[in-house]
Amino acid sequence: MPRLKGMTEEEMSNWSAIFESAIQSGDPAHDLEHIRRVVLNTKKIAKTENLSMEVLLPAAWLHDCVHVAKNSPERSTASQLAADHAVNTLKQHGYPQEHFSAIHHAIEAHSFSANISPHSIEAKVLQDADRIDALGAVGLSRCLMLGGHMGSDLYHSEDPFAKNRPLDDTDYCIDHFFAKLLGLKNTMQTKAGKALAEKRTKFLSDFLEQLRSEIG
């Protein structure tokens, strides 16, 4: 079995292939590239934390291994389903059982819609890493791409920034910035995560200001 501490590039590739094989196809904003970026984000944040990569790495790779549509009434259970599937996959491939509980918790707690508080540092890092991918240039692209996939309009024609109406991010992409994205920086659990989120949130705010200047 490949090691996670001090493993070679070949061993890393072997585990990555195992993890990727367990991932179900998702929507355009929750594809394999999203997962790879979250893995990269976890590695960046992990440099400043004392944690177990034996827990964090498989949790990052498998955090979205089960796909539930964003507009599904079952969406809040997606991370718990992914956690169950991840542990079953790791069992099948002989992963050390002593890490299963921590991996399961990190995956189930990463989701915004699940509303599960992260208790371990690995869970906190994964939650930050996943939410950071919803911000910045990538987050902007994902928001618009998913909105198009779901048939949402870009903005409300009469009140684009919801000054005099309730937010509706099901029908309008820009509403999602105010309903969720701009507030994510306040949910970060780690110092490194907060710094990354602040920088990327500014990009979103600048985009909204530019949009205001263009549409009036």
30/121: higher pLDDT = 121
The pTM (predicted TM-score) of the whole model is: 0.88
Nearest to 19 by CA among 2, 6, 43: 2
Output the pLDDT for position 3. 45
The residue extents of the domains of the chain are: 1-120, 134-216
pLDDT at 1 over 50: no
**Rounded mean pLDDT, 192-196:** 96
pLDDT band at 25 (very low <50, low <70, confident <90, very high): low
**Rounded mean pLDDT, 184-209:** 97
Q: How far are the Cα atoms of 21, 44, 59, 95, 153 from residue 178, in angstroms, in the given order?
A: 36, 27, 29, 41, 15
Q: Could you say which architecture CATH assigns to the domain 134-216? A: Orthogonal Bundle (1.10)
Please state, rounded to an integer, the average pLDDT across all residues of the chain.
88
Output the pLDDT for position 77. 80
Tens-digit pLDDT profile for residues 61-114: 999 888 776 666 677 788 888 899 999 989 988 888 989 999 999 999 998 777
Output the pLDDT for position 5. 57
**Rounded mean pLDDT, 193-203:** 97
Q: How far are the Cα atoms of 53, 59, 142, 212 from residue 28, in angstroms, in the given order?
A: 28, 21, 8, 27
The percent of residues in the chain predicted with pLDDT above 90, rounded, is 59
Output the pLDDT for position 73. 67
Output the pLDDT for position 2. 43
Output the pLDDT for position 52. 84
Q: How many CB atoms lie within 10 A of CB 12?
A: 14
